[in-house]
Amino acid sequence: MAHYARVLDGIVTEVIVAEDDFFENFVDNSPGEWIQTSFNTHGGKHYNCDTGVEDDGTPLRKNYAGIGYTYDRVRDAFISPQKFPSWTLNEDTCKWEPPTPRPDDYNSNNYTWNETDQTWDAVE
């Protein structure tokens, strides 16, 4: 199985799962272009879908596509919408990064980004 994103004017409008040979006989007259994306690719790295551990698979287009993502032809990358104005795009991973790094315990505690103060605030 493979994943494909329909891209119209540089924006992902749909993502589907299809057999690998699906597009050999597929006729689609609707606007847009289908571009393959990889469910296992995040930040330019390929991960094992069962373990979540980086493996030696080939990453495809930096990130898995999502509706509303941009497809950048120059970078050959899917890029999510910018979360906050202060966040910048990491050119290597094509992921948005905050100006202040996430707290070390980010994965085990709840935090929310405070754009005004540009800090991570703990959520009770």
> How crowded is residue 124: how many other Cβ atoms within 10 Å of its Cβ?
4
pLDDT at 27: 65
Which residues are CB-neighbours of 65 under 8 A, at least 6 positions away?
Answer: 3, 5, 12, 15, 35, 37, 71, 78
Low-confidence ranges of the chain (pLDDT < 70): 22-25, 27
Query: Which phi and psi (to 5°) does residue 22 adopt?
Result: -55, -45
pLDDT at 124: 81
Answer yes or no: are the C-beta atoms of 111 and 120 closer than 8 Å: yes
Delimit the domains of the chain by residue range: 1-81, 82-124
Q: pLDDT per residue over 54-73, tens digit each? A: 999 999 999 999 999 999 99
Which residues are CB-neighbours of 120 under 8 A, at least 6 positions away?
Answer: 98, 100, 102, 103, 106, 111, 112, 113, 114
